[in-house]
Copies of this chain bind each other. A is one copy, B any other.
């Protein structure tokens, strides 16, 4: 039996609406796979989903990712899948992407690693698409590859690039326990936007990319502004402005909506500052009696990986 871990991700990163995503160290999902003698892919166990996820392979993100890879490689032996959800659904942290990615990485390892990580992307996207309703890669790609990933284009094929990650960049994520569906958060956006907003967004994204290459955290902070989605989505999120104020007061470089929300994220420089920011953000929601979960970690530059039995024990104990 082989187990892989795939990290949660913060898509969009404000100015990178639909084109940027970043992996965080925790939380993340685990998927284990083993050969069976049935000549078919099946899901044998799902933990941590509160009974919400389907066991039917064709309707499950991890199931589809494994099946799609299994079929592509024309494997004869079947595969049993165990899914351990370790992160909330509908949180804006790329939960379905993490399951699909962990599944693809685990299955690839089980099959003897015939494909590179980059080559697994399409199979993970196959899986994630069943949950999100669209073939997007802004969660899948960073969860798979780690770091900060730019999805330049999907046409004629996916053109992606891993951007440099400043050494001490931390990401604090707070998840207020309300559900926002990606589809609804997308429908709230206007189909047309002012040209001047598009220009502002392009300038900021270009500044963000340059800042990453130049390791210029001040420029990164100035550039991480979202004029396209945030004005529409922020009102859906409890206490968005208050949490923002708290994060910035704590010294955050930038603050925004993770994916389509309701999770919010803050970037900062170093462990100490991120811990301080985490405390302030959490206190803000606690003061308003809003149930929340907080995740504080370095940006994950490794991406999904097969974990050893030792790592598995560690992960499951904490």
Contact = CB atoms under 8 A, between A and B. Distances in A.
A207 B17 CA distance: 14
Contact of A152 (B163, B207, B213): B207
Given A191-B194, A193-B193, A194-B192, A161 B16 contact: no
Nearest to A208: B206
A202 B17 contact: yes
Interface residues of A, number: 39
Given A190-B195, A193-B192, A223-B152, A15 B161 contact: no
A173 interface: no
Q: For the complex formed by this chain, how many copies does it contain in all? A: 2
A206 B19 contact: yes
Given A16-B206, A19-B206, 20 more contacts: A15-B202, A17-B199, A19-B199, A19-B203, A150-B203, A150-B206, A152-B219, A152-B222, A153-B200, A159-B222, A189-B195, A190-B195, A192-B192, A192-B193, A192-B194, A193-B195, A198-B201, A202-B202, A205-B206, A209-B213
Interface of A: 15-20, 150-153, 159, 161, 163, 189-195, 197-210, 213, 219, 222-223, 228
